[in-house]
Structure 1
Amino acid sequence: MIFLGTSIGNLTNEEQKRLLGMIARTLKKGDEFMLGVDLQKDPEVIVKAYKGFSDWNLNYLENMNQKLGANFIRENFTHYPVYDPLTGCIYLYLMSKVD
């Protein structure tokens, strides 16, 4: 089982075709493949939905502190989602609140 999730939506059309082509060439007789996709929505709806990823995004700072010896202070950052309706990509930024 493979879960492509939003990953396939962050690829260009050519990259998507190449990926799906590789998957098709890998499948054998009797294999099954299912791909669920969603339609592009109003940018405000997308951004609102991804604001809920704040903790998930900020956890990267804590992981870098623990695993790489960094010294980020989580409270000094804010989660900032940006949606590009032309590409359908969502970008999740961490913005510093301090210099």
Structure 2
Amino acid sequence: MVELMVVVAIITIVAAIAVPMYSDYITKTKMADTIHANGSDRTNIAEYYNSNGSFGSKADFDSSEFAQNFNSTVAGDYAQSKTITWLSANAVRVDYDNN
């Protein structure tokens, strides 16, 4: 009986360590897949920046055809939506959401 309790205790300890690590691994894999599937976003953002010299003001960027069209399509199996946010004339942030 004692041996069985020791085995159960060991299995519990291993599970307590393994489950969170596995969950983190799955999350990172989904994030990597989303970024890879939407790799053209990086290219499109760079092309917009290079052709305009900057992202301009927040109002100009938010009303641009680029920003409006950017949020309309998302690729991959894990993200349902994406949002581009103006941070400065030289920086934007892209958020992917799985709702």
TM-score by length of structure 2 reads: 0.36
Name the larger-Rg structure.
Answer: 2
